[in-house]
Structure 1
Amino acid sequence: MTPAENDDEFTGIHCRLDELLTARGMTLTELSARVGVSIVNLSVLKNDRARAIRYSTLRAICDALDCEVGELLVLA
Protein backbone atom coordinates (compact mmCIF):
# COMPACT_ATOMS: atom_id res chain seq x y z
CA MET A 1 0.00 0.00 0.00
CA THR A 2 1.40 3.42 -0.96
CA PRO A 3 1.37 6.34 1.50
CA ALA A 4 -1.48 7.93 -0.46
CA GLU A 5 -3.55 4.79 0.03
CA ASN A 6 -3.23 5.21 3.79
CA ASP A 7 -5.13 8.49 3.60
CA ASP A 8 -8.83 8.46 4.37
CA GLU A 9 -9.50 10.09 1.00
CA PHE A 10 -7.54 7.84 -1.37
CA THR A 11 -8.96 8.61 -4.81
CA GLY A 12 -7.15 6.15 -7.02
CA ILE A 13 -5.97 9.04 -9.20
CA HIS A 14 -2.26 9.65 -9.76
CA CYS A 15 -0.81 12.94 -10.97
CA ARG A 16 2.08 12.42 -13.38
CA LEU A 17 3.35 15.99 -12.99
CA ASP A 18 6.85 14.94 -11.94
CA GLU A 19 7.24 12.61 -14.92
CA LEU A 20 5.95 15.22 -17.38
CA LEU A 21 8.26 17.89 -15.97
CA THR A 22 11.24 15.57 -16.30
CA ALA A 23 10.30 14.62 -19.87
CA ARG A 24 10.10 18.30 -20.82
CA GLY A 25 13.22 19.39 -18.94
CA MET A 26 11.19 21.81 -16.85
CA THR A 27 11.40 22.53 -13.14
CA LEU A 28 8.52 22.98 -10.73
CA THR A 29 9.71 26.57 -10.26
CA GLU A 30 9.50 27.25 -13.99
CA LEU A 31 6.04 25.67 -14.22
CA SER A 32 4.91 27.76 -11.25
CA ALA A 33 6.00 30.95 -13.00
CA ARG A 34 4.30 29.93 -16.26
CA VAL A 35 0.93 28.99 -14.76
CA GLY A 36 0.73 31.40 -11.82
CA VAL A 37 0.29 28.66 -9.20
CA SER A 38 2.51 28.52 -6.14
CA ILE A 39 5.26 25.93 -5.91
CA VAL A 40 3.64 24.66 -2.71
CA ASN A 41 0.30 24.04 -4.45
CA LEU A 42 2.00 22.37 -7.41
CA SER A 43 3.97 20.20 -5.00
CA VAL A 44 0.73 19.12 -3.29
CA LEU A 45 -0.63 18.13 -6.70
CA LYS A 46 2.62 16.42 -7.71
CA ASN A 47 2.65 14.33 -4.54
CA ASP A 48 -0.96 13.15 -4.98
CA ARG A 49 -2.10 15.16 -1.95
CA ALA A 50 -4.48 17.52 -3.75
CA ARG A 51 -8.15 17.21 -2.84
CA ALA A 52 -9.33 19.37 -5.73
CA ILE A 53 -8.05 21.26 -8.76
CA ARG A 54 -9.68 24.12 -10.63
CA TYR A 55 -10.35 23.53 -14.29
CA SER A 56 -8.51 26.76 -15.08
CA THR A 57 -5.43 25.49 -13.23
CA LEU A 58 -5.65 22.12 -14.94
CA ARG A 59 -5.89 23.84 -18.32
CA ALA A 60 -2.95 26.13 -17.56
CA ILE A 61 -0.76 23.20 -16.49
CA CYS A 62 -1.70 21.19 -19.58
CA ASP A 63 -1.01 24.18 -21.83
CA ALA A 64 2.39 24.79 -20.21
CA LEU A 65 3.34 21.11 -20.48
CA ASP A 66 1.76 20.66 -23.92
CA CYS A 67 -0.20 17.64 -22.72
CA GLU A 68 -3.74 16.36 -22.37
CA VAL A 69 -5.54 15.99 -19.04
CA GLY A 70 -5.36 12.20 -19.43
CA GLU A 71 -1.56 12.38 -19.62
CA LEU A 72 -1.40 14.41 -16.40
CA LEU A 73 -4.03 12.59 -14.34
CA VAL A 74 -4.28 8.80 -14.57
CA LEU A 75 -6.07 6.09 -12.63
CA ALA A 76 -3.72 4.50 -10.13
Structure 2
Amino acid sequence: MTICINLDVMMAKRKMRLKSLAEAVGITEANLSILKNGKAKAVRLSTLDKLCEVLECQPGDILEFEVNSDDNDS
Protein backbone atom coordinates (compact mmCIF):
# COMPACT_ATOMS: atom_id res chain seq x y z
CA MET A 1 0.00 0.00 0.00
CA THR A 2 1.29 3.38 -0.95
CA ILE A 3 0.27 6.99 -0.58
CA CYS A 4 1.00 8.82 -3.84
CA ILE A 5 1.49 12.57 -3.98
CA ASN A 6 -0.18 14.17 -7.01
CA LEU A 7 1.09 17.66 -6.26
CA ASP A 8 2.66 18.01 -9.69
CA VAL A 9 -0.72 17.27 -11.31
CA MET A 10 -2.47 19.95 -9.25
CA MET A 11 0.32 22.44 -9.92
CA ALA A 12 -0.03 21.82 -13.66
CA LYS A 13 -3.82 22.21 -13.51
CA ARG A 14 -3.42 25.53 -11.70
CA LYS A 15 -0.46 26.58 -13.90
CA MET A 16 1.61 27.19 -10.79
CA ARG A 17 5.38 26.96 -10.56
CA LEU A 18 7.30 25.45 -7.65
CA LYS A 19 8.79 28.79 -6.59
CA SER A 20 5.47 30.65 -6.46
CA LEU A 21 3.70 27.78 -4.67
CA ALA A 22 6.50 27.52 -2.10
CA GLU A 23 6.26 31.25 -1.41
CA ALA A 24 2.46 31.14 -1.11
CA VAL A 25 2.54 28.12 1.22
CA GLY A 26 5.47 29.39 3.27
CA ILE A 27 7.89 26.48 2.84
CA THR A 28 11.21 26.22 1.05
CA GLU A 29 11.39 25.20 -2.58
CA ALA A 30 13.60 22.28 -1.53
CA ASN A 31 10.99 20.93 0.91
CA LEU A 32 8.19 21.42 -1.60
CA SER A 33 10.26 19.60 -4.23
CA ILE A 34 10.76 16.66 -1.85
CA LEU A 35 7.01 16.50 -1.32
CA LYS A 36 6.23 16.90 -5.03
CA ASN A 37 8.62 14.10 -5.99
CA GLY A 38 7.13 11.68 -3.46
CA LYS A 39 10.29 11.53 -1.34
CA ALA A 40 8.68 12.96 1.81
CA LYS A 41 8.12 10.61 4.74
CA ALA A 42 5.44 12.85 6.26
CA VAL A 43 3.49 16.02 5.62
CA ARG A 44 2.20 18.37 8.28
CA LEU A 45 -1.53 18.92 8.25
CA SER A 46 -0.90 22.66 8.38
CA THR A 47 1.17 22.35 5.17
CA LEU A 48 -1.52 20.23 3.50
CA ASP A 49 -4.12 22.76 4.61
CA LYS A 50 -2.17 25.64 3.06
CA LEU A 51 -1.51 23.68 -0.15
CA CYS A 52 -5.24 23.01 -0.52
CA GLU A 53 -6.04 26.66 0.17
CA VAL A 54 -3.55 27.98 -2.39
CA LEU A 55 -4.33 25.35 -5.04
CA GLU A 56 -8.09 25.56 -4.33
CA CYS A 57 -8.46 21.81 -4.02
CA GLN A 58 -9.24 19.02 -1.57
CA PRO A 59 -6.63 16.84 0.19
CA GLY A 60 -7.77 13.91 -1.97
CA ASP A 61 -6.73 15.86 -5.06
CA ILE A 62 -3.14 15.84 -3.75
CA LEU A 63 -2.96 12.55 -1.85
CA GLU A 64 -3.99 9.21 -3.34
CA PHE A 65 -3.96 5.74 -1.80
CA GLU A 66 -2.78 2.94 -4.08
CA VAL A 67 -2.76 -0.77 -3.36
CA ASN A 68 0.42 -2.39 -4.69
CA SER A 69 -0.06 -5.58 -6.70
CA ASP A 70 2.31 -7.35 -4.26
CA ASP A 71 -0.06 -6.54 -1.38
CA ASN A 72 -2.94 -8.37 -3.06
CA ASP A 73 -1.04 -11.68 -3.06
CA SER A 74 -1.18 -12.17 0.74
Shorter-chain TM band: 0.7 to 0.9
Shift of 1:18: 0.5
Matched residues, percent identical? 39
Consecutive aligned runs of 4 or more in structure 1 exceeding 2 Å deviation: none
1:73 to 63, 68, 71: 63
Q: What are the ranges of 5 or more consecutive residues in structure 1 without an aligned counterpart?
A: 1-10
Q: What are the ranges of 5 or more consecutive residues in structure 2 without an aligned counterpart?
A: 67-74
Q: What is the count of residue pairs matched by the alignment?
A: 66
TM-score by length of 2: 0.85
**Greater Rg over alpha carbons, structure:** 2
Question: Which structure would you say has the larger RCO, counting Cα contacts within 8 Å and 6 or more residues apart?
Answer: 2
1:38 to 18, 22, 28: 28
**How large is the Cα RMSD of the aligned pairs?**
0.9
